[in-house]
Amino acid sequence: MTMLRIRSRDGLERVSVDGGAHVTVSQLKTLIQDQLQIPIHNQTLSTDRNLLLAKSPSEFLAFTDMTDPNLPISSLNLSHGSILYLAYEGERTIRGGPAVTPAGSFGKKMTVEDLIARQMRVGRQETSHCDSVSFDRGCANAFQHYVNESLAFAVKRGGFMYGNVSEDGQVEVDFIYEPPQQGMEDKLILMRDAVEEKRVDAIALGLGMRRVGFIFNQTVTQDKKEYTLSNVEVLLAAQLHAESELKEWVTAVVKLEINEDGGADVHFEAFQMSDMCVRLFREGWFETEIGSDDDPKLSKMKKEVVVGVKDLKEVDNDFFLVVVKILDHQGSLSCTFPIENRSIQTTMRALKTHMERTRSLPFVKRISDFHLLLFVAQFLDVSSDVPALAECVRLQSHVPEGYELLIESMAATS
């Protein structure tokens, strides 16, 4: 059984040919009629891609290499997987779909580029929408310290990055929220809490910030693998990028790398998922079921995409990554309060310890910590009190006495 690929104004389709080299042009047209529902008398076939530029039947007549019905297709050097070009008049019904009246039939002249654009073309995106990402040193260190010292890079951990995006595409990350999750050696499952995320967003609103990206670590076993991101990681990154609807969204990775002296260094990398990657995810092209035998450096598609000049169902993950420059800065928030959803639950005693340790500071400075604000937000109205308290932190202004008394009394109950 030979398979020929037929490219028409509707895209790329396949025709199965039984008989291979002995099949004639006439027999091939019959197979196209049976398999693609295009009547024989409407078909014009050619090995010349310029056939797709013809916009009327009179222009089809210029392509004569397959007009002889008795010509064996073997004489055209066609073999399994070869591409033929097909032009036809009128409408057709694609099996399992609606009637199609392509724009190129008798209307606007279509270029080869127009036709190729109908296919999903995957290539390297040279420039990102994000000029750079700058991490607050405190929040970046708190994240990497936990995955290094407490988790020993043995399992994955992730967090949502919050901050600001400048007009020229520079992203600043000022705090990291770590949602409930289950980290494994090769996979990270987010068990997202809508109520908690609402509190986080209320705090961000008061601070004049927004969600700008996602950060996660790769495990020590992944250091031996030959990929930048695995197919599982690409899928999660694409999902979160698509969900954000922020073109400057950043995906950051923390990994352990062996240095020249045989020691290990913690290393940060930042990327954007390419526009095509996000589009493919939104439109449901990614295979979301990943098997243990699948190559982790390749992402599987439900249908073929064009990579270079090839039609493939597996794409090298690197095609989906656009590198982003990393900077650092010292933001206005501290990061010393226990971080949410880690192995040790945060208690009122932690609040008491924090407040006692910072007693010498002005009250607004004592609460200028996202993780403390999130803990306190459980006991405040999320739509009014939480943004108002966070705004005091943003402005470094006087905290209303009611909030101050509440927080001090909470600390005293432990």
Per-residue confidence at 292, pLDDT binned at 50, 70, 90? confident
Does the CA dihedral 403-409-412-414 come out positive or negative?
negative
User: What are the strands of the beta sheet with 298-307, ordered from one edge?
Assistant: 121-122, 298-307, 310-316
pLDDT on residue 100: 45
Taking only the tens place, the pLDDT of each residue in 300-322 is 999 989 888 788 999 999 999 99
What global pTM score does this model have? Answer: 0.72
Residue-level pLDDT at 119: 67
46-47-48-52 Cα dihedral, nearest 10 degrees: 50
Q: What is the pLDDT of residue 117?
A: 44
- E strand or H helix that includes residue 371: helix 370-377
For 337-371, how does the pLDDT look when each residue is reduced to its tens digit (9 = 90+)? 999 999 999 999 999 999 999 999 999 999 999 99
Q: Which residue has the higher pLDDT, 12 or 31?
A: 31
Q: Does residue 407 or residue 58 have the better pLDDT? A: 407
Nearest to 377 by CA among 346, 414, 353: 346
| pLDDT tens-digit readout, 136-159 | 999 999 999 999 999 999 999 999
Contact of 379 with 347, CB cutoff 8 Å: no
Rounded CA-CA distance 295/304 in Å is: 17
Q: Among 19-28, 226-235, 379-388, name the one with the lowest average pLDDT.
A: 19-28
- Give the neighbor-by-neighbor strand order of the sheet with 11-17: 11-17, 2-8, 83-88, 43-46
Sorted by sequence, the CB contacts under 8 Å of residue 367 that are 6+ apart come out as 373, 376, 389, 393, 399, 407
Model pLDDT, residue 18: 84
Give residue 98's pLDDT band: very low, low, confident or very high (50, 70, 90). Answer: very low
First vs last C-alpha separation in the chain: 77
Say which residue, 85 or 89, is predicted with more confidence.
Answer: 85
User: What are the structure tokens assigned to 325, written together?
Assistant: 């420059």
Look at residues 275, 229, 6 and name the one whose alpha carbon lies nearest to residue 120. 275
Residue 2: which pLDDT band, with cuts at 50, 70 and 90? confident
Average pLDDT value for residue range 110-117: 52
Residue 288: the pLDDT is 94
Contact between residue 250 and residue 183 where contact means Cβ atoms under 8 Å apart: no
Q: What's residue 255's pLDDT?
A: 94
Which residues, at least 6 apart from 61, have a Cβ–Cβ distance to it below 8 Å? Answer: none
58-86 average pLDDT score: 88
Q: Of all residues in the chain, what percent carry a pLDDT higher than 90?
A: 67
- The contacts of residue 64 (CB under 8 Å, 6+ apart) are none
Q: Are strands 325-329 and 132-136 parallel, antiparallel or unpaired?
A: parallel
Taking the C-alpha atoms of residue 222 and residue 256, their distance in angstroms, rounded to an integer, is 9
Element holding 389 (H helix, E strand): helix 385-395
Q: How confident is the model at residue 21 (pLDDT cuts 50, 70, 90)?
A: low
Q: Are 305 and 312 in contact (CB under 8 A)?
A: yes
Residue 205 to residue 327: CA distance in whole angstroms: 24
Q: What is the mean pLDDT of residues 324-333?
A: 96
Q: What angle (nearest 5°) sits at the alpha carbon of residue 178, between those of residues 269 and 377?
A: 140
* Span 32-40, average pLDDT: 89
H-state helical runs in 130-283: 137-145, 194-207, 231-244, 275-282
